Structure 1
Amino acid sequence: MIRYIKATIIFLLTTVTYTVSAQSTSTTSSPYSKYGIGDIIPSVLPQNVAMGGIATATNSINGFSIINPLNPASYSKITLTAIDVGLYSKINTLSKVGQTDQTNTSFRLNHIAFGIPVSKRSALSFGLLPYSELGYSYRQVLNSGFGTGLPADTNAVNYIYSGDGGLSKLYLGYGFGIGSHLSIGANASYIFGNLKQSQSTEIPVYGNLNSRIEESNSVGGLNYDYGIQYSVDFSLRKHLTFGYSASANTKLNNQNSYIVSSYFTDAGGNEGVPTDSIINRQNAKTKIQLPQINHFGISFQDEGKYLVGADYTMGKWSNLTIGGENQGLRDSKTFNIGGQFTPNINAINGYFSRVDYRLGVILDDTYIHANNTDIKSYAATFGVGLPLRPNNRSYYKINISAEIGKRGTIANQLVKESFVNLHVSFTLNDKWFERYKFD
């Protein structure tokens, strides 16, 4: 009976997460998400997020099986069935010279991931993760140079930009060990979702003809991740691990719709029915060329006490194309530094001695170049891993993490974002799928 209950739980969790994640409504509000295919979300779960996002050279931590999709070689260290389900919330404040700060809050069910041992040194992992998010709405008012002295200010031209949507990543991976020190793994992923963007040009005078460009992309296609880890053991507890992983530069299928229409607004500023479609191209089949993304990492762990590590990521985003058109991005570079400390993992009394305390920093030289300015992002991360009372078969942990940082600048008429990202996940390690004599 127990195995049927567990199977039912897996089905329900997967169904709920798929339903939420597959929705096209975005959970971000950032003008920088308009570039490329939206803000890219690293495949890092909350316990790694709290450590500055280090993941390329991490696997089992303090003997606890974690799921690390960023480097599928890590699956070889999964010794118990692992489930990780998480929530995400973002508080983002936008600042621009001459404008009042704007704060937006979003919330979503973020991910669900499973790790299942296949043999002593190999395991499968599968799950659903966010891949990118697109969401913005802003207005620019520029002077056209015409119409001075008329009853209405026809010098003003309103440019209205908006976008919504996102991509999700459904993955299946396998990792295995070769000998005592080397691990290799790979993921096959299906990336899917919808991206919608529009740009309107309006002259705020009754009777003038306005125009709008609307573009949508319905995306679905395969992508591949692969990785390797090599560990040097100084003792039974102390390990130095080197890691490398990459996301391949595959092509995703895309159905593109592109509409250019014109419309009038009445004296109250209300938009009328479009009068004409200048261009109406529906469901054109194109390709999205993803870039190669390379991760390099190193970590040192004294099991039961501490772990420290660093990652370096290079993304060839200058190669991103949609429908054969280069998106004008630049290559990105990201540094992640962090670790965790556990005062006394075996403490009988004193619960907080068994808590994992995590800290880190993220330095991101992003792929965005706007208004002759390179857009950079900085964040400090911290969090805790709260162990719940184990039994003789199962281990539970609640992971809470936060990222506090800034992206962009108010110079050159740009926007500065001040953000707080909050992550909460529930992680289970259990002995599932065993053969019993009695049930």
Structure 2
Amino acid sequence: MFTRFFLLFSILLIAASSASAQEGSLSPYSFLGIGTKAFRGTVENRSMAGLGMFSDSIHLNLKNPAAYSDLGLTAFTAGATANSVELETTTSSDNLNYFTFDYLAIGLPFDNLGVGFGIKPRSAVGYELEEITPNRISRFEGRGGLNTAYFSAGFEPLKNFRLGATANYHFGDIENKSIIFANQVQYASREINFTYIGGFSFEAGALYNLNLSEKINLNFSGRYETGSSLDVNRRRELATIQLGQNETEIVINEVELNPLDTEIELPEMYAFGLGLGQKRKWFVGLEYENYTAGDFSSLDFNFGAQVVQKEASALRLGGFFIPRYNDPVSYFKRVVYRAGIRYEESGLEYNGEDINEFGISFGLGLPAGRVFTNANLGVEYFERGTTSNNLIQENFISVFFSFSFNDKWFIKSKYN
């Protein structure tokens, strides 16, 4: 048992290091604030439009901690996404591809209690922009983002009624760089902002199943996340530079300004869901999320007067169907077929335009190996932003996949 825990802890440390180093976004909108949203749920969630209100005994639901009380086996899961995005303006377009690690998590059942821990991304920054005017050329680059290490617990105080809570620690660093080449000026000006962020937030969740008949269940869900202050340490470097071969930046003169300690405010979130289904057969659910306006104004180098952070919301409709979960002959009758559709108001307004999203997703849950181990595949097409007012519309095709390994731990031996 100790060996298993040591191995899992080592994997989590490696995952944390990898998540900090990866390029989690190639979106121009990640320039603003702490970046674009990076975690949208497990592959199972995302295949149903990010629906976070369903739980069972062999899958982890990282969006609602109450779901941990449903676990019947120890579950270990990891997920990743391959992204292809078209950046479109009124006059041109460009295509980019990138790969992201999405999450690593484990859930452990103990009688009427389930616990879980893991790591997942919170936000991602990754962009390269260039602006050309008659008098100057401006280049902007950014990388980094926030990651979240979490611990969750869920239990069932009353039959069919489950409660859960999560403690999150958010951490990460963001680097924003700008270089300006002015006409008839020998050297270029460079500014680099290094931002280090850390702090806690907390979540609570509830799930309730009402038996309408012998087969049909009505499902209710609720989630809440505290709005929280994260500590920010900012360091700023100003320099005059000259470009050498292969765009190498040769520093002529450099000044480092005094570090600045400040804070940002993450938004408060609440969500409600209603679903209908038959156990191990089918499910369809509708979920609404609402976010208060976050406050990132202390990051004034990329959050100016043209940026407004407002209340945000999301509406999700999704579900699944299993032809026959225990069919002894047909493999495809045991496959889980998932689908969903969503619309999100991001709460971000830039140059007077709302930056919203619309997406549609599909997925498969594939039985693999022994003891309910499974692979999950999904694909989503979604649009973000607009071409109005000289902005950029992003058209994504994301293919995501995960493995969920299940085993029996902490089971007392019945024989000596």
Offset of 1:266 from its aligned partner? 8.1
1:354-412, CA deviations, whole angstroms, 9 ceiling, x for partnerless residues?
1000111121111221222111211110010001243xxx2111000111121112221
- Which deviates more, 288-297 or 332-341? 288-297
SS in 2 for 1:159: strand
Q: Is the 8 A contact 1:28 1:90 kept in 2?
A: no
Structure 2's unaligned 5+ residue stretches are: none
Q: Which amino acid aligns with 1:380?
A: I
Paired residue type of 2:77: D
Q: Sort the Cα spacing of 1:437 and 1:296 in 2 relative to 1 into closer, same or farther, 3 A.
A: closer
Give the SS at the match of 2:332.
Answer: helix
Aligned positions, number: 412
Structure 2 residue aligned with 1:356, among 336, 349, 370? 336
Tell me the equivalent position of 2:210. Answer: 232
- 8 Å CA contact 1:195, 1:216 repeated in 2: yes
CA displacement 1:278-337 (0-9 Å, x = unmatched): xx3344322222111222212222012101111111111344443698973122111111
- Report sequence identity in percent: 25
Distance 2:362 2:323 in 1: 16
Q: State how far apart, in whole Å, the 2-side matches of 1:6 and 1:113 are.
A: 14
Of 135, 141, 157, the residue aligned with 2:136 is 157
CA separation of 1:191 and 1:291: change in aligned 2, threshold 3 A: same
The 3-state SS of whatever aligns with 1:317 is coil
Does the CA-based 8 Å contact 2:39-2:120 persist in structure 1? Answer: no
Q: What does the per-residue CA deviation read over 1:232-278, in whole Å, with 9 as the maximum and x for residues that have no partner?
A: 1224542211111122111122211123333456899875424353x
Structure 1 residues without counterparts, runs of 5 or longer = 143-154
When normalised by structure 1's length, the TM-score is: 0.87
1:369 alignment partner, one of 349, 362, 371? 349
Q: How does 1:122-271 map to 2 (within 5 A)?
A: 122-142=113-133, 155-205=134-184, 207-264=185-242, 271=249
Among 41, 44, 52, which residue is 1:47 paired with? 44
Task: Give distance in 1, aligned partners of 2:222 and 2:252.
Answer: 53
Correspondence 1:17-416 to 2 at 5 A: 17-23=15-21, 25-42=22-39, 44-55=41-52, 57-60=53-56, 64-99=57-92, 101-119=93-111, 121-142=112-133, 155-205=134-184, 207-264=185-242, 271-277=249-255, 280-322=256-298, 328-390=308-370, 394-416=371-393
AA aligned to 2:97 is: T
RMSD of equivalent CA atoms: 2.4
**In the aligned structure 1, how far is the partner of 2:221 from the partner of 2:357?**
24
Q: Give 2:411's aligned residue.
A: 434
1:29-61 deviation line (CA, Å, top 9, x unaligned): 100111221112345100111011101x2111x
TM-score (norm 2): 0.92
Tell whether the 8 Å contact from 2:23 to 2:100 is kept in structure 1 after alignment: no
For the structure 1 residues 276 and 127, does the alpha-carbon distance in structure 2 shift closer, same or farther, using more than 3 Å as the test? closer
Equivalent position SS for 1:435: coil
Rounded to whole Å, the distance in 1 between the matches of 2:380 and 2:40 is: 15
Q: 1:332 to 1:294 in 2, by over 3 A?
A: same
Larger radius of gyration: 1
Query: For residue 125 of structure 2, what is the amino acid of its counterpart?
Result: L
Post-superposition Cα deviations, 1:13-37, rounded to whole Å, max 9, x if no partner, equal: 32432231132x4231100111221
Paired residue for 1:418? Answer: 395
Rounded Cα–Cα distance in structure 1 between residues aligned with 2:102 and 2:61 = 15
